[in-house]
Amino acid sequence: MNIKSLIGFSIGLFTAFIAIGHPSFFESHWKDKILVRHYFTDTTTRPFDLVIDELMIDPSPMVSLPNFEWIELKNTSSHTINLKGYRIGNGSVHSGPISNYILLPDSLVVLCSSSAATALSLLGPTISVSSFPSLDNSGGLLIVKSATNEIIHSISYSDTWYQNPLKKQGGWSLEMIDSHNPCGGGNNWKASTDNSGGTPGKKNTVEAENLDQSPPKLLRAFAIDSLKVVLIFDEPMDSLKAAIKENYTIDGGIGIPLFASAVAPMFDRVMISLASPLVRNKVYTLTVVLVSDCVGNRIGKSNFTTQVGLSEQVLKSDVILNEILFNPTPAATDYVEIYNRSNKILDLRQLYIANRNTTGAIGNLVQLSTESNLIFPQEFRVITASAAIVNANYRIINKEAFIVIESMPSFNDDKGTAIILNAQGEITDELTYNEKWHFKLIDHFEGVALERVNYNAVTQSAENWHSAATAVGYGTPTYKNSQYHLTEGLTEEIRLSPEIFSPDNDGQDDFVTLDYHFPAPGYIANITIFNSMGRPVRYLQKNALCGTTGSFRWDGLQEKNQPLAVGVYIIFTEIFNLKGIKKQFKNEIVLVRRNSF
């Protein structure tokens, strides 16, 4: 046999052993070939040595590839990996173990069901496994476990990862952009651009350098009980650094926890056990230092603290409706803002949003959170189906204040009802809105939110709602309303605020509020606006039944909803009750205009 034949025979034998999966072949036959031995000898597989590199979660309608679901694995390490005993799962169901199979460095293999193996094996290296997990089209969890049950890689995929509305409909695979950024989430995946719909067993079409250089963020935390707290980060963490208890501390005398552990399988949560119990009705600050994400970026000097505490039961009026956008522009979407006006720490998992159908029955209930998510006293939360769309259309102060739910209850453009319920099904607040409540000089109401004027005034009152100001873009989701007004410390029976107002909807003194305080219920009020010539220009209230405290509002318009000239006006208020008590008030108000309509 000549040298060329010998080399050919050796290569053929080498290929045969690789195909049948003998990892020890080169260990025993090529010990003098150090480079070859290093390259092909199995070592202990570490997390991210093997990653999920491509997914076909929705093969129909077919583009060109076979109509089967599949998962592609990539060996990102510098050594071979024997996949014997490895499993793929979705958190609740795991496949049967993989048979003996050698995966070379920088190589790919497709996992699929036995029924799909024949068709997919024509496209590239393929392994069939029993009990191949079903892949949900909208999103789900996928986990790769070693033969020793160690989590090697996990992803929580979503159909938003396609970044393409057409390909999201089916027939296209999801490809990882940079396999050395295994925890990049949606920022590291795209729909395949291959004309067949995907690249099973081949290099990804979207492959590119996409390094993660952003530090992790501490999003929030919640207490399971007085001694156990869960921290939630925006990405998977280095599980070893996350398990160092000295990296965490809580103020208020709690200090460093007794124990810390990253929570599998995504490792984006950390459980800490406390030495001292949390006290009810107390808000604590939790601080995190020195932890890193899965590629080594250390947590920065922002987004490293959060509040935590023990939550209380949500009762009626603890959480109120504070702002609603029910008639969005074509480019926007509905949102409802809620406000915790209590002094309690509350859990959004106890709250639901709903509407009423045409018969008046409560319908379309949606839970605000399936896990604990705290709302602290005097905090806002914005409920919507798309935080990104709201963020694109309005100024956002607190991006973490969004509650994204899969499907918002429908709110009609002209009128409708929004309801918040607690875990017992009791209504905590309800608003039946009407587009007629908007500022009369606005030409169209699309994209204009209605804002609550006073947290403590009754919800179901047109007087307590006003169009959001022009200056804020007609909406203030996640922060204090542009039209906010609080009645407090009244000493007179009638008081105006402000004394000079400019009804031009710029968010600054757009209306005048008449706050009243009466010694007993049952008073009736008539309010008339006079100009400087003594002529009546607006009959603001006629025989209005008043509470002991409350307010009325004048928007600067005359009786036919036309704007009035600048100048001094007299607000004449007459009150009486059935006991014969009668009183009159005359208050001057100055109308100016900073901006013209």
| pLDDT (tens digit per residue) in 445-454 | 999 999 999 8
Euclidean distance between CA atoms 161 and 185, whole angstroms: 8
Domain-embedded: residue 557: yes
Task: Name the H helices within 41-105.
Answer: none
Block residue for tokens 């025979």: 9
Domains: count for the chain: 4
ω before 498 within 30° of 0 (cis)? yes
Which CATH number covers residue 270? 2.60.40.1220
pLDDT on residue 74: 98
| pLDDT (tens digit per residue) in 320-330 | 999 999 999 99
pTM, entire model? 0.79
Structure tokens at 186: 């949606």
Domain-embedded: residue 417: yes
Domain-embedded: residue 137: yes
**Is the separation of the CB atoms in 238 and 291 below 8 Å?**
yes
Domain-embedded: residue 264: yes
| pLDDT (tens digit per residue) in 19-56 | 334 333 333 333 333 333 334 445 578 999 999 999 99
pLDDT on residue 554: 95
Note whether 294 and 416 are same-domain residues: no
Note whether 419 and 507 are same-domain residues: no
Give the up-direction half-sphere exposure of residue 470: CA atoms within 13 A in the CB hemisphere. Answer: 16
| pLDDT (tens digit per residue) in 224-283 | 999 999 999 999 999 999 999 999 999 999 999 999 999 999 999 999 999 999 999 899
Radius of gyration of the chain (CA): 32
Which CATH number covers residue 492? 2.60.40.2550
Which residues are within 8 A (CB) of 461 and not within 5 positions of it... i.e. 6 or more apart? none
Residues forming a β-bridge with 431 = 418
Q: Considering 484, 507, 527, which residue would you say is the last residue of a domain?
A: 484
Structure tokens at 250: 């809580």
Q: Is residue 482 pLDDT above 90, yes or no?
A: no
| pLDDT (tens digit per residue) in 130-189 | 999 999 999 999 999 999 999 999 999 999 999 999 999 999 999 999 999 999 999 999
**Is the separation of the CB atoms in 233 and 215 below 8 Å?**
no
Euclidean distance between CA atoms 184 and 346, whole angstroms: 32
Block residue for tokens 């939630």: 232
pLDDT on residue 233: 97
Which residues are within 8 A (CB) of 55 and not within 5 positions of it... i.e. 6 or more apart? 70, 71, 72, 135, 142, 157, 173, 174
DSSP character at residue 160: G
Domain-embedded: residue 13: no
Structure tokens at 208: 């590119």
Q: Considering 308, 337, 360, which residue would you say is the last residue of a domain?
A: 308
- SS3 for 216-265 is CCEEEEEEEECCEEEEEECCCECHHHHCCHHHEEECCCCECCCEEEECCC
pLDDT on residue 266: 95
Across 59-88, average pLDDT: 97
Note whether 471 and 532 are same-domain residues: no
Q: 59-88 burial string, b = 16+ CB within 10 Å, else e?
A: beeebebbebbbbbbbbbbebbbbbbebbb
Q: Is 174 left (phi over 0), alpha (psi -120 to 50) or beta?
A: beta
Structure tokens at 154: 């996990």
pLDDT on residue 35: 32
pLDDT on residue 8: 46
Which residues are within 8 A (CB) of 572 and not within 5 positions of it... i.e. 6 or more apart? 527, 528, 529, 530, 584, 585, 586
DSSP character at residue 456: T
Q: Locate the DSSP E strands across 68-160.
A: 70-75, 81-82, 87-89, 102-103, 108-112, 126-128, 139-145, 151-158
Note whether 149 and 252 are same-domain residues: no
Q: Considering 423, 451, 484, which residue would you say is the last residue of a domain?
A: 484
Which residues are within 8 A (CB) of 390 and not within 5 positions of it... i.e. 6 or more apart? 332, 333, 335, 382, 384, 396, 402, 477
Note whether 418 and 328 are same-domain residues: yes
- Domain range for 366 is 312-484
Closest by CA to 445, choosing from 404, 401, 477, 414, is 414
**Is the separation of the CB atoms in 284 and 308 below 8 Å?**
yes
